[in-house]
Amino acid sequence: MPFTRTLAKPTFQMSNEKNSPAPALPSNFLRAIVDHDQAAGTHVRAGMPSVITRFPPEPNGYLHIGHAKSICLNFGLARDYQGRCNLRFDDTNPAKEEQEYVDTIIDSVKWLGFDYDYPSADGGVEHHLHYASDYFDQLYAMAEYLIGKGYAYVDSQSADDMAANRGNFNTPGKNSPFRDRPREESLQIFRDMKAGKYADGEHILRAKISEDAMSSPNMNMRDPAIYRIRHAHHVRTGDAWCIYPMYDYTHPISDALENITHSLCTLEFQDHRPFYDWLLETLAEGGFFTLPLPRQYEFSRLNLTYVVTSKRKLRQLVEDGIVSGWDDPRMPTIVGLRRRGYTPEAIQLFCERIGVTKSDGWIDMSTLEGCLREDLDPKAPRATAVLRPLKLIIDNYPEGQSEECTSPVHPHHPEMGVRTFPITRELWIEEEDFMEVPSKGYFRYAPPIDDKPGSRVRLRHGYVTECTGFDKDENGKVVAVHVNYFPDSKSGTPGSDNYKVKGNIHWVSAATALQAEVRLFDRLFTDAQPDAGGKEFLSLLNPNAKEVVTAYLEPGMSAAQPDQRFQFERHGYFVADRVDSSAGKPVFNRIVTLKDSFVAK
């Protein structure tokens, strides 16, 4: 049964220096494999590192948090063993691929802190950005070799007949009537397929692994398709090709051509490994590759609560207008997390913290959010923001007067300096900092009741004040709170400690505050596993996943730059939106609350 876990903190820290060595990290089964190979000299080859991995995305969508785990794993292993990691696009399905996806994937990998450029032996730079389409000529030549050796044949069955004859997990498949087609005939048809003489789906090239392959208990070994006809324009090769290799054929050959040592895949590819090994061993016998060959290893994919990572479902969220785009801050895409305000270091820390195993399980969203808070807390400058404003009037404070108050930019890092902001007669405070009829244990503003005076509250970094009354509008809503201040109570001045109050609230000057749009983001779904067990994921959307408020911020926040992160004291961590912010007019996104306060409905 899948489980949910919240993990303890390790004792290491991540680095965002691109591909730079990291501190010693906890071991896992993949590191144990690499350590064994290192000790045995399994992949020692002249002029090449003994650890070469790859991250091989398809350029048909935006990367998400699950891909981040694979990126950190592949690039991280290469970094830690002084190897290299290639970025390779599996661009073998031109109907679904776009340059937009190539560009955003490259950008996401680099933003996460990794790169595919490495120093060369001659002091230059080796570029290890690759495309499966780089190998189309070699892939085709190897396919012809397989046909000539009787390891592949052209099948002319319809798609329906092929599916029916494949069988299922309980029923052996049936040989295609074209399985024993003469090799010369299959080779000629395959060449005619390449020449564009046939329509899509008219023929397909299949592997013939053994005489009894169609009765294999592993469905992936039942004469898998390795080439299909697809008359589609390719982003890189144009119209040069109208046949394209299948992923299971392209993937191992690309690994071997790039001298990959450890090919890391998620567990759904475990049953594909026998074909991976058979194909490379067969081609090595034909002289295409030399030993040692790449080896495939599988690890569990990331299952994170409160998100969906299916490309189809993410695309539906975008195309149905449920979110504003692939970079909507509620999306689990890397561009969405980046716009939300997540940091590369937090994501790297999360990926190390959850570890690498071969057993499926669920990681609670609170683990990711905890890594984010851990990363932001020591480096985010503090700021004051009033999100749900209520006017506060200091009746005995002179009109037109203004005094500077100061506060540290960060309470634990005095080297970051101080920030200043004025106190004036009229301020903004939070609505929740006043109660007409206070509940037990409430220490913020409350009016005089009977012969009992109003409550005393300290304006943080300012004066102690005493509530004297409040105003309501025609609908009975409180619109202003009235107080008097004590001139000798200003924070940091002699005698201010003579005032003992339990309430201490934040505020901003109504005269100088920056009015700003603030978006309060939360989890996109109310259910921890919104697409598990046949659930209709759209019925589980969180209606409170986005709330837009007009807030008032301390005046210095007008200088906030896009992507600059802050802790709004008492509220959480926020970032100036990288898309909608402009000079002097930042728009803020809530990254995460100060504490885990999410309650599933």
Distance CA 181, CA 120 (A): 49
Strands 389-394 and 478-485 turn out to be parallel
Amino acid sitting at position 116: Y
CB 345 within 8 Å of CB 375 = yes
Q: Which of 110, 166, 191, 311 is catalytic?
A: 311
C-alpha dihedral over 190, 194, 196, 200, to 10 degrees? Answer: 70
Q: Which two tokens stand for residue 106?
A: 């490259």
Name the active-site residue from 18, 45, 301, 382: 301
- Asked if residue 456 lies in contact with residue 503, where contact means CB atoms within 8 angstroms, the answer is yes
Any catalytic annotation for residue 18? no
Query: To 10 degrees, what angle do helices 183-194 and 136-148 make?
Result: 160
Annotation says 295 is catalytic? no
The residue ranges of DSSP E strands in 268-402, in sequence order, are 295-299, 362-363, 382-383, 385-386, 389-394
How far is residue 575 from each of residues 113, 337, 566, measured CA to CA in Å? Answer: 19, 11, 6
Amino acid at 36: H
For residue 319, how many C-alpha atoms fall within 13 Å in the half-sphere facing its CB?
A: 7
Query: What is 18-75 written as a DSSP string?
Result: TTPPPPP----HHHHHHHHHHHHTTT-BTTB-S-EEEE---SSS--BHHHHHHHHHHH
Tokens of 411: 């309470």
Please tell me the number of Cα atoms within 13 Å of 410 on its side-chain side.
Answer: 14
Q: Is 379 a catalytic residue?
A: no
Catalytic residue among 18, 58, 144, 191: 58
As a three-state string, the secondary structure of 562-598 is CCCEEEECCCEEEEECCCCCECCECCEEEEEECCCCC
* Catalytic residue list: 58, 301, 311
